Every structure is written in C-alpha cells, then in structure tokens.
C-alpha cells in the first residue's frame, strides 16, 4: 500500500484557524479558491527559486528577494535542500536542513507566516522522524523572517502522526471497499 505524505496526514486534522481565515476572506468578497491558488503559486515559485539558487546559482526573479535570502543564509551552513524522507508511516519532503549557531535545524519555508501552528510542529517532527535534528524553524517568505522553536518532547507529536497514518490507511480501506 502506498504510504501517505505528511501533508496528506495533516489534511485529516480540523483547522479552525483556516475556517476563520476563510470567513474573513468571504466577508471581504474574496474567492478563497483563487486566493489559495495564488498563495500556492507564490510559495511554489519561492521554493523553486531558492532551490535553483542554492543548487545552480540561478538568480531569483526579484533581486530584492534574492538579497533577503542571501542575508538570511549568510550565517548558516546549508546541509541539504528539498530532501525526500520516508518513515514506516509516511513519506515527505522537507525544504532545508541547516547548521546554525552549532545546531542542526530542519526548516520549512511558508508564505507570509506569522505564527507556529500545531500542523507546523507535526510536519517538522515528521521530517525529524527520518532525519535527525536539534531544532526546527519556520521561515516566512519572501521576507525570510525566522520563527524558530524547539520541541522538548517530540513523542506526543510522533504518536499523533502514527495515529493519523493509521486513520488515513483505515479510511482508504473503507472507501475502497476493503473494510465493511
């Protein structure tokens, strides 16, 4: 059976913040489907530009964004970028692994991110189940603001991810008629 991605597992969770955001957008007359496509497009573009710059030295579309990335990375060592992982429960792909201030971080780039959510913690702990690290960071793009955080006890997050994997697999079996 195909393993789910970390993203697919996180889609099983209720996201009350997302509902509040969608409501605000709707009250402003904004089509959230179009807004979501816009955010995904911007996020994918920035990810691609970062990877192309790191791997091949290709310039960003915006020199200003490129300079902010160069400033962000100037005191960090890039250990890996856009790396696929696999555990017994799921697969995934993390954005970047860096060494900073003597510690190893797995980081995730997010568009215009201001807070750390449960889903962010779960996603990064999931990656750490396959790749060791000391800590985590969300990096808000395109400004490259660092929201770093440490999780002292990763076990509860790992258990949530394992449970979500089990729920995901059972749900798929039920939907495919393999369980009645």
pLDDT of residue 151: 93
pLDDT of residue 149: 87
DSSP state of 5: B
pLDDT in tens, the chain (180 residues): 789 999 999 988 876 676 776 777 778 887 777 766 666 555 568 889 999 999 999 999 999 999 999 999 999 999 999 999 999 999 999 999 999 999 999 999 998 888 899 999 999 999 999 999 999 999 999 999 999 888 999 999 999 999 999 999 999 889 888 776
pLDDT of residue 152: 92
pLDDT of residue 38: 62
69 CB-contact burial (10 Å; exposed 0-12 / middle 13-18 / buried 19+): buried
């Amino acid at each position: 059976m195909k393993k789910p991605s970390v993203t697919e597992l996180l889609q099983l969770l209720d996201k009350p913040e997302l509902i509040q955001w969608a409501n605000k957008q709707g009250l402003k007359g904004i089509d959230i489907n179009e807004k979501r496509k816009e955010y995904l497009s911007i996020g994918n573009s920035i990810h691609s530009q970062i990877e192309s710059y790191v791997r091949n030295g290709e310039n960003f579309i915006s020199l200003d964004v490129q300079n902010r990335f160069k400033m962000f990375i100037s005191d960090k060592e890039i250990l890996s970028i856009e790396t696929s992982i696999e555990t017994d429960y799921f697969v995934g792909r993390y954005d970047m692994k860096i060494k900073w201030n003597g510690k190893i971080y797995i980081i995730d780039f997010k568009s215009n991110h201001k807070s750390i959510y449960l889903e962010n913690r779960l996603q990064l702990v999931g990656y750490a189940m396959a790749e060791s690290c000391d800590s985590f960071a969300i990096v808000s793009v395109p400004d490259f603001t660092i929201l770093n955080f440490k999780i002292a006890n990763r076990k509860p997050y790992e258990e949530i991810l394992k449970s979500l994997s089990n729920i995901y697999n059972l749900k798929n079996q039920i939907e495919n008629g393999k369980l009645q």
